[in-house]
Amino acid sequence: MDIIAPVVTPFRNGRLDLDLYAEHIRNITAKGVDAIFVAGTTGLGPALSVEERKALLEAAASAARRVIFQVGSLVLDQALALAKYAERFDAVEAIASVPPYYFPRLSERQIAKYFRDLCAATTRPVYLYNYPAAVGRDVDAKAAREIGCLKGVKDTNDSIAHTLAYKRLMPHMRVYNGSDSLVLASFSVGLDGVVASSANYVPEALARLREYVARGDLERARSLQFAIDEVLEAARPLGYSSAVYELVEIFQGYDAGEPRPPIYPLDPEERAWLRASVAQARSKLAP
Ligand code: FW2
| Crossing angle of helices 18-30 and 50-63, rounded to 10° | 40
Give this prediction's pTM: 0.96
State residue 159's pLDDT score: 95
Residue 2 φ/ψ region, left for φ over 0, alpha for ψ in the -120 to 50 degree band, beta for the rest: beta
CB of 195 closer than 6 angstroms to any ligand 1 atom: yes
Q: What is the Cα–Cα distance from 177 to 181, expressed in whole angstroms? A: 10
Q: How far apart are CA 227 and CA 205, in angstroms?
A: 10
Index of the ligand 1 atom closest to the CA of residue 240 = 11
Alpha helix ranges (H) inside the chain: 18-30, 50-63, 76-86, 108-121, 132-135, 141-147, 160-169, 183-188, 203-215, 218-235, 240-252, 268-277, 279-285
How close is the Cα of 229 to the center of ligand 1, in Å?
15
Which pLDDT score, from 0 to 100, does residue 105 have? 87
Q: How far is the CA of 47 from the centre of ligand 1 (A)?
A: 14
pLDDT in tens, the chain (287 residues): 999 999 999 999 999 999 999 999 999 999 999 999 999 999 999 999 999 999 999 999 999 999 999 999 999 999 999 999 999 999 999 999 999 999 888 999 999 999 999 999 999 999 999 999 999 999 999 999 999 999 999 999 999 999 999 999 999 999 999 999 999 999 999 999 999 999 999 999 999 999 999 999 999 999 999 999 999 999 999 999 999 999 999 999 999 999 999 999 999 999 999 999 999 999 999 87
Whether 45 lines ligand 1, by a CB cut-off of 6 Å, is no
What distance, in Å, lies between the first and last C-alpha atoms of the chain? 20
Q: What per-residue confidence (pLDDT) applies to 287? A: 74
42 CB less than 6 Å from ligand 1? yes
